[in-house]
Structure 1
Amino acid sequence: MTDGPIKTTRDGHILEVTLDRPKANAIDLATSRIMGEVFADFRDNPELRVAIVTGAGEKFFCPGWDLKAAAEGDAVDGDYGKGGFGGLQELPRMNKPVIMAINGICCGGGLELALSGDILLAADHATFALPEIRSGTVADAASVKLPKRIPYHIAMEMLLTGRWVDAEEAARWGLVNRVVPADQLMDEARKMAALIASGPPLVYAALKEVVREAEDMKFQDAMNRITKSQFPTVEALYTSEDQREGARAFAEKRDPIWKGR
């Protein structure tokens, strides 16, 4: 996809998704619906194993909801399309790794979108905030996600005050995996994506499903479901050609060849 607000490029098993809506990469309803289609296609394409999501330009990753579009008639409770706002946050069965390459301002719904990723890399000039409090609205997804990702009191300070956090502080609290120089951000994201793409896709799918579903389960209940192969991705893994290939490769002291089946 080369036209429109979402640009996609593919390199082997890796999909790069770039939000490109000048001036700030804000998301309106139409853009959210496009993003939902892009992420659903990524999820359902067996040839794609990992995605990188970033913003166009050097200043903004994403500030979230497009307030100008809202002023012109976009309803905040309108049709966001597949996966809810930004196409990723509520997309069911998203069992593939997603890397967020945060290249600048990341706030509001943009931060909520970033929190939907599995690995977050930030440029050294990136900044983060949840400014909804200042406009009298609720950062709904962040209210659910953020206190589970970073210390409760830090998350609540961000939610209650809307204060900005720079990249180094974000890394200190574990909001992002690491901070890299801006001119190295995409290289670092692609390096990470290549490493993941070389690994076993069925294991990644199982990991993502187990982590997601077990979040609100008791430990033993989750373990029982895993050992009894009651997660669809775990059952698929343990009956797969890749499972046998992994064992053979180990016995033969060679690198496995993963086929995702």
Structure 2
Amino acid sequence: MGESPLHVWLEQGEQLLRLRLFRPKANIIDAAMIAALKDAFDKNLSNARLRAVLLDAEGPHFSFGASVEEHLPEACAEMLSAMHSLIWQMLEYEVPILVAIHGQCLGGGLEVAAAGHMIFAAPNASLGQPEVRLGVFASPASCLLPEKIGQSRAEDLLLSGRSIDAEEAYRIGLVNQVAEDPQQAALDYFQEFLAPLSASTVKFAVRAARITVNERIKIKLDAVKKMYLEELMAGHDAVEGLNAFLEKRPAVWEDR
């Protein structure tokens, strides 16, 4: 096996779990990356001193998104189940997940970021859910974004597939802070606001803040997974769009 796609370490006296996507420049959220993230979250949750997680990425971009190959019919059921499992794990995680992004944060990359609690973005960040342009839809984002930024703004991003810059993301509430060094901004937030707190109390506060939100998202996640696998992937255009992307050619839509 090659090098792990994720670098994992503890710092601040084991109070802060650091996770770094480590397959630049794309940092694709593929099966290996999902498995590594899930394992890191699992292994560190029992740490009674843990007060936060900081997720960032190596290289010029946070993530170009999920693996397009893994969206094809023979792999999409397994991929979607794994991705939904990771998103749900993050939604239920008992300490704040701070996410520092720079460059492109697209598709599955933005879904992972949006499942966290706070996003710190560099001015050059570009955030979007381009899946619809490939003939599919952004499954977890369809559940996460309406909760984070409201239905109307979420529908704009989900239906257009357009990307927005960090300032627009901040204006609509997707990003919490725009900073030249988003990792340092996240670390500063941790030191000022989270490190002085009781780790036990932080966990209760996290659970309380998301209790009804997570109930709504869970219902939606199950519904969109069923729609994706049983309806979308049974049609022509989803497979055509994915293959066209991989073959670097324009898609030929049949509207079915």
Taking structure 1 as the reference length, the TM-score comes to: 0.73
Equivalent residue letter for 2:109: G
What does residue 9 of structure 1 align with? 9
What does residue 75 of structure 1 align with? 75
Which residues of structure 1 form unaligned runs of 5+? 218-261
| Aligned counterparts, 1:19-38, within 5 A | 19-38=21-40
The offset of 1:193, in angstroms, is 2.0
Whether 2:110 is the aligned partner of 1:108: answer: no
Sort the Cα spacing of 1:46 and 1:3 in 2 relative to 1 into closer, same or farther, 3 A.
farther
What does residue 187 of structure 1 align with? 184
Contact 2:62/2:105 (<8 A) preserved: yes
Instruction: Find the structure with the greater CA-based Rg.
Output: 1
* Higher RCO by CA contacts (8 Å cutoff, separation 6 or greater): 2
Q: Whole-Å Cα distance in 2 between the matches of residues 199 and 177 of structure 1?
A: 20
Q: Whole-Å Cα distance in 2 between the matches of residues 166 and 79 of structure 1?
A: 28
CA displacement, residues 54-87 of structure 1 (integer Å, 9 cap, x when unaligned)? 11112x111221225667x981221678xx4287
Q: Whole-Å Cα distance in 2 between the matches of residues 127 and 210 of structure 1?
A: 31
The offset of 1:23, in angstroms, is 2.9
Contact 2:6/2:20 (<8 A) preserved: yes
What does residue 61 of structure 1 align with? 62
Q: 2:88 aligns with which of 87, 90, 98?
A: 90
CA displacement, residues 117-156 of structure 1 (integer Å, 9 cap, x when unaligned)? 1111001100111111011112111111111211322211
Partner of 1:94: helix, strand, or coil? Answer: coil
Partner of 1:120: helix, strand, or coil? Answer: strand
Partner of 1:78: helix, strand, or coil? Answer: helix
What does residue 146 of structure 1 align with? 145
The offset of 1:209, in angstroms, is 1.3
Contact 1:125/1:167 (<8 A) preserved: yes
Taking structure 2 as the reference length, the TM-score comes to: 0.75
Q: Whole-Å Cα distance in 1 between the matches of residues 62 and 24 of structure 2?
A: 11
CA displacement, residues 193-213 of structure 1 (integer Å, 9 cap, x when unaligned)? 223122111221111112222
Q: Whole-Å Cα distance in 2 between the matches of residues 33 and 74 of structure 1?
A: 19
What does residue 126 of structure 1 align with? 125
Sort the Cα spacing of 1:78 and 1:211 in 2 relative to 1 into closer, same or farther, 3 A.
same
Contact 1:32/1:80 (<8 A) preserved: no
Equivalent residue letter for 2:65: G
Q: Whole-Å Cα distance in 1 between the matches of residues 176 and 23 of structure 2?
A: 26
The offset of 1:3, in angstroms, is 4.1
Q: Whole-Å Cα distance in 2 between the matches of residues 61 and 74 of structure 1?
A: 27
What does residue 244 of structure 1 align with? none
Larger helix percent: 2
Partner of 2:110: helix, strand, or coil? Answer: helix
CA displacement, residues 208-255 of structure 1 (integer Å, 9 cap, x when unaligned)? 1122223378xxxxxxxxxxxxxxxxxxxxxxxxxxxxxxxxxxxxxx
Contact 2:126/2:165 (<8 A) preserved: yes
Sort the Cα spacing of 1:157 and 1:79 in 2 relative to 1 into closer, same or farther, 3 A.
closer
Contact 2:84/2:140 (<8 A) preserved: no
Q: Identity over aligned residues, as a percent?
A: 31
Which residues of structure 2 form unaligned runs of 5+? 216-256
| Aligned counterparts, 1:160-179, within 5 A | 160-179=159-178
Q: Whole-Å Cα distance in 1 between the matches of residues 25 and 70 of structure 2?
A: 13
Q: Whole-Å Cα distance in 1 between the matches of residues 211 and 34 of structure 2?
A: 25
What does residue 199 of structure 2 align with? 201
CA displacement, residues 7-32 of structure 1 (integer Å, 9 cap, x when unaligned)? 01221211110001133000211221
Contact 2:70/2:76 (<8 A) preserved: no
Q: Whole-Å Cα distance in 1 between the matches of residues 183 and 58 of structure 2?
A: 11
